[in-house]
């Protein structure tokens, strides 16, 4: 799963790369070509060599491990929403469109590394490290006002997001066996999407009312909730 998240990060690398093309229509045209190419590649893959039976299991939704994993992925993707949807307005004070795109491309590479390296740590430890890295990275990105400082701060946040993604799915898969994880994975991913929607919404309100220097409050509140649920998830025994 850490490699899946690394591939996810590769997508966040290509997105800003398309933005570096410039203008409005050209980046979306490039994305259309990529999407069609991906559809062709999926159709050409064929069926898997080994078929496994997966089934729904709603009981997993009531476990402490599922709650911790869900808050963990919401925290990770909320941070991405803040970085993608709010901070570019702050970065635009010093950088043009191509400069922001290049900065985000570099952060995406580091994000991919964080997703992979996070798998080398126990899941709960990854989430604890993620809270520290994401909150500090996003906060310093909002406080500082130079491109070099922004890259350093967002690099720290990118590593933290990768750790949070890998740690949250690690807790999820220790809560319910993969063959019974269909319901849990679907709900877990939808909670992550909700986090991505909440990031720009809440972050935008904070930036507008308090200023970008206070943007770190958004992941801080979510991170406190993550840390509050982790002790309960420790009682979950791996299947």
Instruction: Write out pLDDT tens, residues 156-166.
Output: 999 999 999 99
Residue 239 in any domain: the answer is no
User: Residue 199's pLDDT band (boundaries 50, 70, 90)?
Assistant: very high
Residue 238 in any domain: the answer is no
Q: Do the beta carbons of residue 161 and residue 126 sit within 8 Å?
A: no
pLDDT for position 54: 67
Residue 9 in any domain: the answer is yes
Looking at the structure of the chain, the number of domains it has is 1
Minimum mean pLDDT among 27-36, 108-117, 141-150, 170-179: which range? 170-179
Residue 51 in any domain: the answer is no
Average pLDDT over residues 138-155: 93
Q: Is the pLDDT of residue 192 over 60?
A: yes
Q: Do the beta carbons of residue 55 and residue 180 sit within 8 Å?
A: yes
Q: Is the pLDDT of residue 201 over 80?
A: yes
The CATH number of the domain holding residue 198 is 1.20.1250.20
**Cβ-Cβ contacts under 8 Å for 128 (sequence gap 6 or more):** 227, 230
Tell which wins on pLDDT, 73 or 58.
73
Residue 128 in any domain: the answer is yes
* Three-state DSSP state, 33: helix
pLDDT for position 127: 93
The reported pTM is: 0.81
Residue 109 in any domain: the answer is yes
Question: C-alpha distances in angstroms, 88 versus 12, 99, 147?
Answer: 14, 11, 12
Question: C-alpha distances in angstroms, 133 versus 17, 47, 154, 155, 222?
Answer: 25, 40, 10, 9, 13
Residue 217 neighbours by CB distance under 10 Å: 17
pLDDT for position 217: 96
User: Residue 50's pLDDT band (boundaries 50, 70, 90)?
Assistant: confident
Question: C-alpha distances in angstroms, 98 versus 91, 161, 193?
Answer: 11, 24, 27
> Domain limits at 92?
2-46+57-233
User: Residue 239's pLDDT band (boundaries 50, 70, 90)?
Assistant: very low
Percent of the chain residues past pLDDT 70, beyond the cut: 91
Q: What is the pLDDT of residues 75-132, one digit of tens each?
A: 999 998 999 889 999 999 998 888 888 888 888 888 888 888 888 889 899 999 999 9
Residue 202 in any domain: the answer is yes
pLDDT for position 7: 73
Question: C-alpha distances in angstroms, 121 versus 124, 126, 133, 164, 175?
Answer: 8, 6, 15, 11, 17
pLDDT for position 233: 65
Average per-residue pLDDT for the chain:
86
Average pLDDT over residues 7-36: 81
pLDDT for position 2: 67
């Amino acid at each position: 799963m850490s490699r899946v998240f690394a591939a996810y990060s590769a997508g966040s690398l290509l997105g800003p790369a398309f933005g570096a093309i410039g203008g409005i229509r050209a980046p979306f045209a490039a994305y259309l070509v990529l999407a069609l190419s991906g559809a062709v590649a999926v159709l050409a893959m064929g069926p898997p060599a080994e078929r496994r039976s997966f089934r729904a299991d709603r009981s997993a939704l009531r476990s402490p491990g599922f709650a911790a994993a869900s808050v963990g992925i919401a925290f990770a993707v909320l941070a991405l929403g803040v970085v993608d949807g709010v901070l570019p307005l702050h970065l635009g004070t010093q950088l043009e469109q191509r400069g922001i795109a290049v900065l985000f491309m570099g952060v995406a590479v580091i994000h991919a590394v964080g997703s992979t390296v996070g798998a080398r740590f126990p899941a709960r430890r990854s989430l604890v490290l993620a809270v520290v890295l994401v909150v500090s990275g996003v906060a310093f990105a909002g406080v500082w006002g130079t491109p070099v400082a922004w890259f350093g701060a967002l690099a720290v946040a990118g590593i933290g997001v990768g750790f949070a993604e890998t740690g949250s799915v690690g807790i999820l898969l220790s809560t319910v066996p993969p063959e019974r994880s269909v319901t849990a994975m679907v709900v877990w991913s939808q909670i992550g999407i909700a986090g991505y929607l909440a990031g720009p919404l809440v972050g935008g309100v904070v930036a507008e009312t308090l200023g970008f220097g206070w943007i770190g409050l958004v992941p801080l509140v979510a991170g406190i909730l993550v840390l509050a649920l982790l002790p309960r998830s420790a009682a979950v025994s791996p299947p």
